[in-house]
Structure 1
Amino acid sequence: AKNISRGLESPATAGHLFTRNCGIDDVNAIFLSKMTTEAAEALAVNIVQGTVSNVFKTECLKRAHDLETQDTMVLSQSVTLKVDAPYVITVNIDTLDGLVNGVTFYLRQIIYGPSQEELIRPHVLLAEFEDQRVGNIARQFTNHGENLMPIYVQRRMIYQWHGRGLSVVRIQFQVTPAAAISAWKAQGGTY
């Protein structure tokens, strides 16, 4: 590793590497707050599956909402999106196409659409990968430009309440800001 003399600052675009997870979210939040590009907040949609009273469904949603990201198949409750910011994919999407956990990209465009709640929300993220081999197969089936790869929300079961026969499915983008990442993530480990 290269030592930086005291008094010198690293370039503003340089990523920050942490040996532990603490501090990563704070550095990413500060980095994103300084950006003046288009922004959106992608809020997860949690859906209760199973037949039971509304009281138990509400309790099940509360339990799922309170889970840490590591316990939700790495789908965050909320993801701050900023155009031109770096992000990292947190789950394997298509291993053959290089869309795997740990690959980084720059968010180039947010495509919005209506939701079931009649809200306008982010529906598709257009990503640009430094390595053009990543997402090459998927790009052949889209018309977003030869360098842009669409990333869609994922649907994953994040919580089961076995005693009540209920489960919660979360719908969310499988990405997180990558201005700061852990050494594990940088080495291809899990999020």
Structure 2
Amino acid sequence: MFVGVRAVFIDEISMLSAAILGKINYRLQQITGTYDQVFGGLHIILCGDFRQLPPVRATPCYTVPINQLGAPILWQSIDYFPLVRVVRQTDELFSRILTKIGDGLKLSVNNIKLIESRHKSESWCKENVPDAVRLFYSNFEVDSYNRKAINNAHNCIATDIMLGYSSNSERGQQQGKLHKMSVAETDGLPYMLPLAVGYPYMITSNINVGDGLVNGAIGVLRHIERQPADPAEAGPSTSTTSPPTKDEIITLWFEFPDKSTGASAKLKSRPYVLSKPNTLSVDWVPVYKKVVNITLTKTVKCKRKQFPCVPACAITIHKSQGGTFDVIVYKYSSKQPQQLVYVAMSRVTSITDCISSRRRTLLDFQTWARRKRLTNYTRYSH
């Protein structure tokens, strides 16, 4: 696989922890057999924006991993080249404002007035931009909004098979624990998935990385396919467990904004799609149920079968990192760190596409302690 490889590109470097960077270095040394050079002597090009959020519960890549204090910093072996041209934002003034926010610099009065002109009430947002993605700080706010936003939803309940329990009491206890776990803790498979056509959903696990069906991809649900009464009429399936029961939901069909997403999956399902011209479209991507094993204790496990997706009418700011949206409604709070504000506001290309649903001044962005942290990576590179 690495025969002839001379350079490795890694994007969204701000999401990469120091520990992962160390593992990449070690694996490249193993692959090339060159242990006396960092990254096995290969050229490594890291791209990203360090004004964004650092990895969750991990140290940034330009620091020393927590479990390797005193070890050399790999970042010091990398030359730093800042790129001054902003590609995502087409509005030059908006781009300059975002740079100030990201660097912790004080905004001018005119900058603040421009941002405050995008402050709208919740009722205005519901009436004028009902389909805009909502960005919230916490998972609780996201879940609450998604429950209210999706009307007439069908709740698709996961099939859970408990294994390794010694009594019904232990089984019930572990089931209760399982139902309280977050989607991240259950390998991207929710217990209850509200489904309704016409709403956006986010893929929560890597289905096919090469095909673009990856964790974080957002598409609109266009069709919910159920198991027909006649098994001969059933479409393609990837199920590795018992066959679906009558009327069970077997396939979700999504339309993604990037037409290259799911290109291979669309090609494979094309004959079946063409056989149902009044129901399906060749632009839709099929997503099937997935089976994962969830460890609860040393002995008790759960085999869960569910679709790897969640509603995405609202998502957390952390989840939005790396994405670009047509319009966002962002719930701003003066308590949020500047990196969070920067990531939220920079998800759109123009200030007119960024709407704040809360009236708060943005004057207090100059946080010197945070600014020092943001610029540490330039010091470590020399």
Please give the range of the TM-score, normalised by the shorter of the 2 chains: 0.7 to 0.9
Contact 2:266 2:284 in 1 (8 A): yes
Counterpart check, 1:180 vs 2:314: yes
Mapped to 2, the partners of 1:118 and 1:24 lie a distance apart of: 32
Larger strand fraction of residues: 1
Aligned to 2:147: 29
Matched to 2:321, the amino acid is Q
Counterpart check, 1:43 vs 2:157: yes
Q: Residues 29-74 of structure 1: CA distance to partner in whole angstroms, max 9, x if unpaired?
A: 11113xx6xx421101111234855554444434323323332123
Contact 2:202 2:310 in 1 (8 A): yes
Q: Residues 61-106 of structure 1: CA distance to partner in whole angstroms, max 9, x if unpaired?
A: 3432332333212311101000010111111111100001111000
Aligned to 2:250: 123
Mapped to 2, the partners of 1:69 and 1:121 lie a distance apart of: 22
Mapped to 2, the partners of 1:119 and 1:25 lie a distance apart of: 30
Written as runs of structure 1 = structure 2, the 5 A alignment for 1:36-185 is: 39-50=153-164, 52=166, 54-113=168-227, 120-142=247-269, 143-144=272-273, 145-162=281-298, 165-185=299-319
SS of 2:319's equivalent? Answer: helix
Larger helix fraction of residues: 2
Mapped to 2, the partners of 1:62 and 1:81 lie a distance apart of: 23
Aligned to 1:9: 124
Pair member with larger Rg:
2
* Structure 2: stretches of 5+ with no match in the other structure: 1-93, 95-114, 229-241, 274-280, 324-382
Contact 1:42 1:79 in 2 (8 A): yes
Mapped to 1, the partners of 2:135 and 2:169 lie a distance apart of: 44
SS of 2:150's equivalent? Answer: helix
RMSD: 2.7
* Structure 1: stretches of 5+ with no match in the other structure: none
Mapped to 1, the partners of 2:257 and 2:282 lie a distance apart of: 13
Number of equivalences: 183
Contact 1:112 1:124 in 2 (8 A): yes
SS of 2:139's equivalent? Answer: coil
TM-score by length of 1: 0.83
Mapped to 2, the partners of 1:111 and 1:118 lie a distance apart of: 13
Q: Are the structure 2 counterparts of residues 166 and 96 from structure 1 closer, same or farther at C-alpha, using a change threshold of 3 Å?
A: same
SS of 1:150's equivalent? Answer: strand
TM-score by length of 2: 0.44
User: Which of structure 1's runs of 4+ aligned residues deviate more than 6 A?
Assistant: 114-117
Matched to 1:153, the amino acid is K
SS of 1:140's equivalent? Answer: helix
SS of 1:79's equivalent? Answer: strand
Matched to 2:141, the amino acid is G
Paired-residue identity, % = 30
Q: Residues 119-143 of structure 1: CA distance to partner in whole angstroms, max 9, x if unpaired?
A: 6332110011111100001111103
SS of 1:22's equivalent? Answer: helix
Matched to 2:317, the amino acid is A
Matched to 1:135, the amino acid is G
Contact 2:163 2:300 in 1 (8 A): yes
Q: Are the structure 2 counterparts of residues 22 and 57 from structure 1 closer, same or farther at C-alpha, using a change threshold of 3 Å?
A: closer
